[in-house]
Structure 1
C-alpha cells in the first residue's frame, strides 16, 4: 500500500497537479492538507476521474482543510477524536482504511504554522500551535495507555522540523518558528507518547539532510536549497517492519503553480 501526504495549498487551484502526482507515484491513498475549500465546493468529480472513488473531506473557505482520497474503501472515524483546541478549524481527519492485513487507522493532520514570532505571550498563533501539539500529545498518551495504536498511520503537514538535519541550518533556525527548541521538543514528545515510528527517517538516516518544503520567497529555491522537513509520516510499531519504500517528490516543487510543499510517499506491506 502506498500512502502519500501533501500540503496542496488549495485543492481547486492545483487539481491538475494531483493528476501528475497520481501518475508518478501510483498511490493507493493521498492525504491532503490546506485544501482551502469548503466541503460543498470540493472537486469530487475531478478526483474521482483520477481513480479515487473513496473520499473524506473536512474543509473551510480560504484556509486550512484536510482530505483523504483513496482507492480502497474506508470508514470515517467521525466524532472518535478530539476537536483540537475547541476551534473546529478542519485540521484533522481520520478513517479506518481497508487493507489486506486488516483495517489501518489513518490520521491526516494539519498542525498550525504558528506565525512568525516564537513567543506564546506575544503571538496567539504560536500559542495555538503549542496548545494543539500538547493536546495531540495527551491524546497519543491516552491511546497508548489504553493499549496503544495498532496498525495505525499518522501523516500530515506537522509544521515542525524536529531534527538537526531536517533544516538547512540548525544553528540559524533555532529561533525561527518550525525549528525552535520548544516546538521540536513538543513534537518529539508527541511521537514518543504514541510510540510512533518515523517512517521516512527509516529510509534516510538522521545525519542526512531531508526537506519537504521550500519557501516561495527564494528567488531560486533549488540553488539556495534552504528547505525544512515539515511533512511527516509516522507508523505504529507493528507496521514499521512492513516499510518497503519511500519517495520525497522534490521535482514537484518545480511544477507550474507548485505548492511550497512536495508530496511524500511511503510504501507499506500492510
Structure 2
C-alpha cells in the first residue's frame, strides 16, 4: 500500500496557507506534519484542510511562536502533546495512524533553534536547546506496543558534514557545532532510530532543506543546511520507497525558508 508522510516548517500557517494548499494539491501526502505554525488552536485554518480532504487534524499551537500540527487523511488516535524543559511552548505532538493492518506512531517535533551564540553559559536559548535534546532521549522508536514509529520535523541541527554548505565554516555556528551534532546523533542512536533521509540518499551527497532569507540569491549561492529530518523505526527501512526534498518550494512566492520533505513507503 503506497503511503507518504511529509514534514515542513511553514513559518506561519495562516500567512502561507496558499503554499500549503498548493503543496497538498500537487503532492497529496497521506500525512503532513507542520512546524512553526505560529497560530493558536482556535484560529487554525481547519476548514481549508478539510476542503482538501484532510479531515483529521491535531494541533498544538500558540500565538506568534512555535507550534506544530499534524494533518492527515486517515484517523489520528492516541494524540499526545509532550512538554520539555519545564517550559510552556508547543514543540511536540504525537499521534497513531492506521496504515493497512499496521499502526504507525508519528512524532512531530520543532526543536529550539538555540540563538546565535553556541555557549550555554551565556546564551539561555542554547542551554534550552541542549536541555531539549537531553530530554528527547526518552522518545524511543520501539515502545513495545507493536507500532512502527517515525520522528520527524525541524530538528534545527545539521548533523553530517554533507548536511551543510561548508563544514569548516559552520563548525562554530549554531546548528552545526559538535555539541549539537553529536548530541542529535546520540539521541537518534539511543532511541533506536534510523535516519530515513540518509538511508535513501547516501551520506556522501549534500542534502539541504533550509536556505536563509538573508541570502540575496539563495539558489545561486546554495548555502543551505539539512535542518529537517525524518527518522523511523528500523522496520520501516525495507518499506521506504523514496525521499523527496522539494527544493523548488523555496522559490515559491513569499516562501518559508524551509522546504517540504516527503517520505514514500510501500506498507
Say whether the fold is shared (TM-score over 0.5): yes
Q: Give the SS at the match of 1:171.
A: helix
What is the deviation of 1:48? 1.0
Q: Tell me the CA shift for residue 148 of structure 1.
A: 8.8
Match of 1:9 among 8, 11, 28: 11
Q: Distance in 2 between matches of 1:134 and 1:14?
A: 32
| Matched position secondary structure for 2:85 | helix
**Counterpart mapping for 1:18-29 below 5 A:** 18-29=20-31
Deviations 1:79-131 (A, max 9, x none): 6xx42111120000000111113111110000000000000011000000000
Structure 2: where are the runs of 5+ without partners? none
Counterpart residue number, 1:250: 247
What displacement does 1:147 show? 4.3
SS at match of 1:239: helix
Q: 4+ residue stretches of structure 1 with deviation over 2 A? A: 76-79, 146-150
Could you tell me which residue of structure 1 aligns to residue 110 of structure 2?
A: 110
1:153 and 2:155 aligned: no
Aligned mates of 2:77, 2:243 — CA distance in 1? 26
Secondary structure of the 2:64 match is coil
2:258 to 244, 247, 261: 261
Task: Provide the rounded CA distance (Å) in 2 between the counterparts of 1:46 and 1:30.
Answer: 14
In the superposition, relative to structure 1, how do residues 187 and 149 fare at CA in structure 2: closer, same or farther (>3 Å)?
farther
Structure 1 residue 264: Cα displacement: 0.2
Aligned to 1:62: 64
Asked whether the equivalents of residues 83 and 91 of structure 2 are also in contact (C-alpha less than 8 Å), the reply is no
Q: What is the TM-score with the length of structure 2 in the denominator? A: 0.96
Count of residues paired in the alignment: 265
1:131-170 map, 5 Å = 131-137=131-137, 139-140=138-139, 147=144, 150-170=147-167
**Which residue of 234, 237, 241 corresponds with 1:240?**
237
CA contact (8 A) 2:12 2:38 kept: yes
Partner SS, residue 98 of structure 1? strand
Give yes or no for contact 1:215–1:227 (8 Å, CA) kept in 2.
yes
The alignment's C-alpha RMSD in Å is 1.4
Query: Post-superposition shift, 1:225?
Result: 0.1
Aligned-pair CA distance for 1:168: 0.1
Aligned to 1:224: 221
Contact 2:102 2:147 in 1 (8 A): no
Matched, 1:215 2:212: yes
